[in-house]
Structure 1
Amino acid sequence: MFERDVNYPAAVASYDDEGLSAAIDWCVGHMAEGDTLTVWTSLKSNLSNCPQLERLVTRHRNVDHITGRGGTHLRGTGPVLMAWADMDDIGELVRFAGRRIRALCVIPAYDDALRPWVSAVRPAVLGDGSAWEDPTPVLDPVVVEALTGLTGSINHNNTISAGFEKDMVVSSLLALRDAGIPMDDAAMQGWALANGWSGENPQRLAKYVRDINGGTRPRCRQMLREDYIDRLRRRAAGTE
């Protein structure tokens, strides 16, 4: 009912001369007639720390600069180059600008900040790709089935911190925990971003997982059938 698609190409670039040049070329290569190339940084002042990106923004009329703090609304459709971003930043960008993103290239704030997203999305690797040779731990197939079901059942325009969405998410996570199925918070956040979750919901999902793994049981209304875990296991095994 509420399925989400991430249907634009993605890339991750190293923060060096080779990676920056490749990131710019990749974004330009994904521009269509009338597009705007948007460069994102967390703060306006961040742009001055990278002369190559600063020149790109100041010398071209079809290149725009936006900031995470100042708002993530794109003023035009086209590729986005996020410089020094993490998974939370991607979630906020997609929340406000998802339909205008033609392609997304990210330079990570630091490698571990983006590793789960890279593992889940499998983006094109630009520049030095050595950072991505060690992937995030693979999610248990039963967890993937649970996340797939949640993705199709919750309204992604709503927060998962309250109401039906919270009840569904927390019920599912508690059931997984009670069944002894391992959950990795960062890997699940990366999966959620790769599958259309946006705004703060991916990071809220990760926090629920951390809390539950730590022994906390967030309050919620029970929303699941008694055979929920058994059905997930059958789906993961391909027998349902």
Structure 2
Amino acid sequence: MRYQGQLIEWHDDQGYGFIQPVAPNQGNKKIFLHIKAFAQRGPRPLAGVMLEYEITRDGHGRLNAQRVTYVRRQNKSKSTDKTASGSLSKSLLPYRQYPQQWRGWLITLYLAFIVALGLTRQLPLWFLIIPVLLSGLSYWLYAIDKQAAQQGRRRIPEKNLHVLALLGGWPGALLAQQKLRHKSAKTEFQRLFFATVALNWVLTGLLTLQVIQQFFALF
């Protein structure tokens, strides 16, 4: 039998939380939810979303949610099939994270800037290679950290991820957040992350200020 409830608590770093049932006959006991209990892979959950699930008991008799899915709101508008389909795709509860294309544009702009300076021989080769290597390392660490969170293993300290972003690995980190859906829902982490991105841009601008002036002088 399937039930519905609201996710009232979620620890994204550790990949678990608790569901509060909405049916009166289920009582007030919270249902334990692990990230692996979702029936399909999707966006990371956020507190407040409505879920549908089945209930099992673990070896200690505690209630666990299994085969969990997100609840969709029914579309009440009477419109064309195209409009209804669009409304349904946007009717997911707040957990839905729509693609943020500006992230890709930010990475593209940064890489285009670095490559342009390199092609005109305004910067040494190592200045091009370091951001690429650090970005690859950042993406790899994000993947390892997400897997560790899902398996309950030791996590990678967030300060290490921020240091890599500051040194120039933020494009890979930003790509990992979007593709792997990891660390993208933590407001505090995101604020500090984009502070490191901004600081990296400032430092890059200061280090290449004279080079940039020479570059534009070519035109």
| TM-score between the two structures when normalised by the length of structure 2 | 0.33
The structure with more radius of gyration: 2
Instruction: Between the two structures, name the one with larger relative contact order (CA 8 Å, sep ≥ 6).
Output: 1
